Structure 1
């Protein structure tokens, strides 16, 4: 029998047979009343001895309301607990079959009236079933979703340590998110780019899209590598654990205390104002967080020795330990974080860093922007990193001028990063937060749901060296 016909017949058959089977199971031939003495009813409420708690209440109600083929006794009772004879059962079945036949005739008339429409629908259903079957046969995975983001940047900057230059660079990330239980996450990220040999890959002018690009190879080499590989799973109701061979510090935090920016430009504005506490260290790590009713406590350890290189912070961390206490509400959040860092470049060098960051965003898009702000302070046993501080304030307007477009600006200081013999350390060097002040302004055009174009301008006041100015056009594709 075709599926469509089965759907038509099944409700009637089920409603009819359920009560008949029930009474047959309780069949008792002693002292029965004649079915002919029973009177027809139109509502189950007419039976004084039938209660909603009775096991066959719904089946009996369906027979009365849908088919009107159930009779009662003259005293207003149904006597559902009494046995019935085979003759009585036959009379009840015959009455119900007559009503089912009438309904079937009506349905036949309707089907004849809408024969063309039903044929079209059937063809569409058959087509959909064929497509679904094809998708199931050729699907990538039943447990994995693929998300990608490709970014191209055309722009230039002056006095970056590489001279004035205009470059065009790219960054591509492919995220494979796998879940085996619906609550866990295995993330594998493939990443490639060529920002290393440009003004936007080093120092204070480094962009967020260039962050942690592999610098170990020759500049400009386009290499695809594993940027993330970690597994995250719940432990009980409020506890979440994470471990991985390639996991970043913020992957193991229950909440991030900033909503700026949605379309980041300068990398130094992506640390929630506390660059020493939120180092975004990447490597082998393990973490745990507890979260309930918005409040959270997070702790994680990341070992980056021989595993990765942070191309923008100025110094490479051997390992970090981070603890954070935070709260994330419907439109605001705040967090206090502490990070202990040990540095692979200098034996015995360590740093203690604190960060206090918060954000607020309106419930609906308006002329009032979201506000993100943060402050960080750190001490170290090395003069290079001792008594350092950073801060930032970022504003962002959603649906600015045109629905879907965003406007953003930020000001802050996160220390000065340069290339050369600065501070006598050679290579990449880092100065305290009072050495630099950065500004950025950007506007994101949401061309389609998957394509955005962002023109941006930035200016950096560098203490002791020439100031830096630059502009760019960033195009982002999401798929």
Structure 2
């Protein structure tokens, strides 16, 4: 019986004593004696012969009897619920309830004495916790901002094979080994400062530093496709801390979310990321949901708006990768293409514009998404021939020097319980490129890409994760060269990529991930050093890249 509820009965019974009008002439002494002298404690409402389930107070009386045990009846088994109560009868009822209260009070005193030492220890711990909370509140660096971080160590190396000729008269695999064959130890550090002023908004500042600038894993090596997702190349040099992201996100009504920032990335403004395959994967090419052109993760000045309702969402955003520069135009560069590396401004020829619209349906453990993106040729700041993009060198050239209209289709599913069935993510991308400013090399081109990613949760041991992905990084499927460019329009740019990894969760905050990966033909149509579209090359030229690494991640 609960003491609190029993104590409530006492004043209620006392209240009954005041309004009952009874004097000596009205008092039935025998009746009171009978009422107070009930021989046995009533334990069930069924012991009363004159109480029925249809009575309006049946449930209340049942609770008093069965839960609190302080209701008395008459020796003949009746309760006489419709009869007025005398003051003596009320006194008898109150006495029965107080007896129960006294029993519980004595029991509590005995328990308190028995556990006196334990209660003293608990009191000391509570006092200690209060002191620590007070100290934290007094020494916290901000009442509105939380700090969290991720530090990653990567050690690994690459090997190369094949018979293709290289750029410098030797074999390509020998050149690759000489330029990018060393074992490297790199790091990446991200510090997240998340600030909220209302509890629903978010001001995010990301500080980042690393030393991947001269590492093959940063995309600057002989094979750009073996760049890692975690790699960070800081323009100001290795080991330099820089602001990687700075944006403000806030709700508008109950369904809309707005984002604006001087350094914001495309995916920061999407309501749904269209993949269950982890963003913290190994090769960077598997980070883009199979459509690197549509989900190009453009980073710069931008703004976006998203709407969500009943698992449906629509997102629209714009990013200017050169939005921080004020010079609107640049000099003419290679192939007559404007060099915008030091130029920019929002909505100018050198803005590096990237606009995205995504529609998604994402219930709890699966989803579908479709995205459209339009990007100007200068979003990569005028890099004319970049090996470190998300595809073959030839596809990177067309993407970097033409205006792109891209489509991405994605689907994903995760099992409700970990087991032998993995989560499955897949995506396909299509990109149509036009030359924009009538450059001297090509009129138009199309590229495609796809991937399938699998991930097993609690693989072999609870908390560990096994994953693999296979697909084709962006490759050229069609091109229309200028009439004065030698060779044919035919290209053989196909290539495949594969990765396999196993993440050991050492503690809640430390994980160790060994991984291997393979690139079947990372140079695509330029495998032999000169594309067949230029009149050179052999159909049987081969060049491949095999790599292995150990990644350790610390979260704090």
Q: Under TM normalisation by the shorter chain, which class is it?
A: 0.7 to 0.9
Partner of 2:243: 225
Alignment CA distance shift 1:28-1:107 (3 Å) = closer
Deviations 1:356-397 (A, max 9, x none): 111233333334333322111122332498412222222333
Alignment CA distance shift 1:398-1:42 (3 Å) = closer
Q: Select between 59-68 and 402-411 the one with higher mean Cα deviation.
A: 59-68
- Contact kept in structure 1, 2:64 and 2:71, CA below 8 Å: no
Q: Select between 397-406 and 139-148 the one with higher mean Cα deviation.
A: 139-148
CA distance in structure 2 between the aligned counterparts of 1:243 and 1:274, rounded to whole angstroms: 24
Q: SS of the counterpart of 2:493?
A: helix
- Contact kept in structure 2, 1:160 and 1:468, CA below 8 Å: no
User: What are the equivalent positions in structure 2 for 1:365-404 lying under 5 Å apart?
Assistant: 365-382=418-435, 383=442, 386-404=445-463
**Post-superposition offset of 1:99:** 3.3
Unaligned runs of 5+ in 1: 1-7, 311-315, 418-431
**Post-superposition offset of 1:121:** 3.5
CA distance in structure 2 between the aligned counterparts of 1:304 and 1:24, rounded to whole angstroms: 83
- Does residue 371 of structure 2 align to residue 337 of structure 1? yes
Partner of 1:68: 70
CA distance in structure 1 between the aligned counterparts of 2:17 and 2:145, rounded to whole angstroms: 52
**Post-superposition offset of 1:187:** 3.4
Q: SS of the counterpart of 1:207?
A: coil
- Does residue 514 of structure 2 align to residue 455 of structure 1? yes
- Contact kept in structure 1, 2:205 and 2:243, CA below 8 Å: no
Alignment CA distance shift 1:69-1:393 (3 Å) = closer
Partner of 1:166: 183
**Post-superposition offset of 1:264:** 0.9
Alignment CA distance shift 1:359-1:96 (3 Å) = closer
- Contact kept in structure 1, 2:306 and 2:316, CA below 8 Å: yes
- Does residue 476 of structure 2 align to residue 476 of structure 1? no
Alignment CA distance shift 1:459-1:49 (3 Å) = closer
**Post-superposition offset of 1:131:** 1.6
CA distance in structure 2 between the aligned counterparts of 1:263 and 1:317, rounded to whole angstroms: 29
Q: SS of the counterpart of 1:413?
A: strand
- Contact kept in structure 2, 1:351 and 1:385, CA below 8 Å: no
Alignment CA distance shift 1:262-1:282 (3 Å) = closer
Q: Select between 164-173 and 403-412 the one with higher mean Cα deviation.
A: 403-412
Q: SS of the counterpart of 1:127?
A: helix
**Post-superposition offset of 1:31:** 9.6
Deviations 1:227-271 (A, max 9, x none): 3433243632x4444344433222222222222236511111100
Q: SS of the counterpart of 1:444?
A: strand
User: What are the equivalent positions in structure 2 for 1:314-333 lying under 5 Å apart?
Assistant: 318-333=352-367
Partner of 2:313: 296
**Post-superposition offset of 1:72:** 8.1
Deviations 1:419-452 (A, max 9, x none): xxxxxxxxxxxxx993543222222222233222
- Contact kept in structure 2, 1:413 and 1:438, CA below 8 Å: yes
Q: SS of the counterpart of 1:209?
A: coil
Q: Which residue of 210, 222, 235 maps to 1:193?
A: 210
Q: SS of the counterpart of 1:138?
A: helix
Q: Looking at CA atoms only, which structure, 1 or 2, has the larger radius of gyration?
A: 2
CA distance in structure 2 between the aligned counterparts of 1:99 and 1:126, rounded to whole angstroms: 33
Q: Of Structure 1 and Structure 2, which has the larger fraction of its residues in strand?
A: 1
**Post-superposition offset of 1:198:** 1.5
Partner of 1:208: 229
CA distance in structure 1 between the aligned counterparts of 2:309 and 2:185, rounded to whole angstroms: 45
User: What are the equivalent positions in structure 2 for 1:77-88 lying under 5 Å apart?
Assistant: 77-78=80-81
CA distance in structure 2 between the aligned counterparts of 1:406 and 1:277, rounded to whole angstroms: 28
CA distance in structure 2 between the aligned counterparts of 1:181 and 1:353, rounded to whole angstroms: 37
- Contact kept in structure 2, 1:49 and 1:77, CA below 8 Å: no
- Contact kept in structure 2, 1:43 and 1:61, CA below 8 Å: no
The alignment yields a C-alpha RMSD, in angstroms, of 4.2
Partner of 2:158: 157
CA distance in structure 1 between the aligned counterparts of 2:454 and 2:218, rounded to whole angstroms: 24
Q: SS of the counterpart of 1:415?
A: strand
Alignment CA distance shift 1:325-1:104 (3 Å) = same
Q: Which residue of 409, 420, 436 maps to 1:356?
A: 409
- Contact kept in structure 2, 1:169 and 1:194, CA below 8 Å: yes
Partner of 1:426: none
**Post-superposition offset of 1:275:** 0.6
**Post-superposition offset of 1:335:** 1.0
Alignment CA distance shift 1:110-1:449 (3 Å) = closer
Alignment CA distance shift 1:161-1:221 (3 Å) = farther
**Post-superposition offset of 1:88:** 6.4
Q: TM-score, normalised by structure 2?
A: 0.67
User: What are the equivalent positions in structure 2 for 1:432-451 lying under 5 Å apart?
Assistant: 434=493, 436-451=495-510
